Amino acid sequence: MLVYDIHDLTKIYPGQTRPANDRITLQIEAGEVFGLLGENGAGKSTLVRQMANLTRSTSGSITLFGAPVDAVGADPLHVPRCVGYMPQEPGAMNLLTIGEALYFTAHLRGLSRADARRERDRLLDLWGIGDLRDRATPRLSGGQRRLLRLAVAMAGMPPVLILDEPTNDLDPQRRKMVWDNLRRLNHEQGTTIIFVTHDAIEAEKIIQRVCIMRDGRVVALGRPGELKQRVDQKLRLELFFAPGAPPRLPDGFTPRRIEPGRWLVLLERAQIGETVNGLDLDRLDDFRLYSATLEDLYLHYANDAHSTQA
Ligand code: ADP
């Protein structure tokens, strides 16, 4: 089932000449974990705000489950009923406590009072913020606010989540909790998850399909595995050693220095056996061999002037 069908979508903000996004066409299927990646200013937040019907498009169309999102005459409650949206910046919840914000959101999404109370308690527990239940939202740290916004987006179990930078400001432990919870939600409930990030390393943990944007345009769209094959077939051999005591490498290999004590060597597949056998293991603390990552893809498409519209 198609969740979003976006066709030729363009947004030019008032007073601007350059479009924030420019003829975007893409579809998102039910149950997908779909990541939007790109540099700051690439147009990601604008696109998800258009999808959440918070920014009116200049031209083009968006439908959600087959019904128009922002066309004249569209039902203004269609998006809020189906989509939990987590903005990058906090919304107008400042007068509420955490518990109230969750309870009211769940109730507004159609849960009875008793079910909304249960949903509040479930989310406080899921995000490990139970001890903050009666805390007013202005008195939260940046990380706590982000977890609250995630919990609010999920309240009432909408079938679609749109999350703008869900892990910014979070420590590594909480980042892991976010990706683990989202992965579980997708597996167990089939929730469609659309998220924006500029952290490709983090995104790799969960992403099923990626859209890389640059200057308001889609420059790559597909499964990371497919896109990686188009970018680069070379394998990455990372070598870790005591700074100042580099290992010997077989002739003809030029390492790229990542930081003191860490080299990266790019290898053709046929060179793996010979290279790994020839490694001077006594001088290595560790080594790692892997194919192109989502970060490599990102660097290629988000920065490479030669990449083309997918
Ligand atoms: P991203 O989320 O990828 O960082 P944005 O969608 O926030 O990108 O921004 C895309 C472009 O639109 C940028 O050039 C940004 O300066 C511009 N922009 C974003 N919001 C507004 C606004 N409210 N008014 C004018 N220009 C805006």
Q: What is the CATH number of domain 2-223?
A: 3.40.50.300
The whole-angstrom separation of Cα 310 and Cα 296 is 17
Strand ranges, E, within 42-105: 59-64, 67-68, 83-86
Q: Which atom of ligand 1 is nearest to the CA of 21?
A: 10
- What phi and psi values does residue 101 have, to the nearest 5 degrees? -60, -40
Mutate to test the pocket of ligand 1, among 16, 24, 168, 217 (most ligand atoms within 8 A of CB): 16
Q: Which atom of ligand 1 is nearest to the CA of 15?
A: 25
pLDDT reported for residue 257: 87
CATH number 3.30.70 is the correct assignment for the domain at 233-291? yes
- What phi and psi values does residue 172 have, to the nearest 5 degrees? -55, -35
- Domain limits, CATH 3.30.70, in the chain: 233-291
Q: Does ligand 1 lie within 6 Å of residue 290's CB atom?
A: no
Q: Which atom of ligand 1 is nearest to the CA of 216?
A: 10
Structure tokens belonging to residue 187: 């597996």
The whole-angstrom separation of Cα 196 and Cα 248 is 42
- At 121-152, the pLDDT tens digits run 999 999 999 999 999 887 888 888 899 999 99
- Domain limits, CATH 3.40.50.300, in the chain: 2-223
Q: Does ligand 1 lie within 6 Å of residue 46's CB atom?
A: yes
- At 221-238, the pLDDT tens digits run 999 888 887 776 788 899
Burial class (CB in 10 A: 0-12, 13-18, 19+), 149: buried
- At 273-284, the pLDDT tens digits run 888 888 888 889
pLDDT reported for residue 275: 84
Distance 43 CA to ligand 1 centre (A): 6
β-strand partners of 287: 239
